[in-house]
Amino acid sequence: MADTLNLYKGEELIKSEEYVEGKASVTVDGLEANTDYPKGTYQVSRKNENGESEKVDVPAFKTKPIAVTGVKLNKESTSLEVGATETLNATVSPSTATNKKVTFISSDDAVATVDSNGKITAVKAGATDITVTTEDGSKTAKCSVTVTEPVTEPEPEE
């Protein structure tokens, strides 16, 4: 029987891995990113044909944050009439990223403005770009916006 390392959280056995001489580590899946785990949150023991050792507290550790790798907008371009609004949706990758905060800016606020939630308001005829930027990693995506004057129907003659 090969020796195993057993990982516990309280009394619950979380994982067992074959013990390799000189390597006393166990990989744990499903931990929260960017989180401090105090000493004793987990315990480890070694088991062989003679039985299982006493559990020993795992030292305190902190998991790493999950970095942003990209951002996408739901549209690459859109057209609006003056006075109209539309909201862009930003999707940060990976979905498990620790910091998903983004900011939106318009390259020309005189043509169209954008608020912190991605809501575009068409101001006057012209063209502008709306850019979303991630706080983590400064990843960007862009939507080209064309603003046109509203089309008015001629009044019917009587």
Summarize the confidence of residues 114-128 as an average pLDDT.
98
pTM: 0.72
Phi-psi region of 83 (alpha: psi -120 to 50; beta: other; left: phi over 0): left
**Cα 36 from chain centroid?**
19
pLDDT(3) > 80: yes
Distance (Å, whole) CA 61 – CA 129: 44
Q: Where do the structural domains in the chain lie, given as residue ranges?
A: 4-62, 70-148
Q: What is the pLDDT of residue 1?
A: 63
Say whether domain 70-148 belongs to CATH 2.60.40.1080: yes
> pLDDT for 66-102, tens place per residue?
999 999 999 999 999 999 999 999 999 999 999 999 9
Name the percent of the chain lying above pLDDT 90: 82
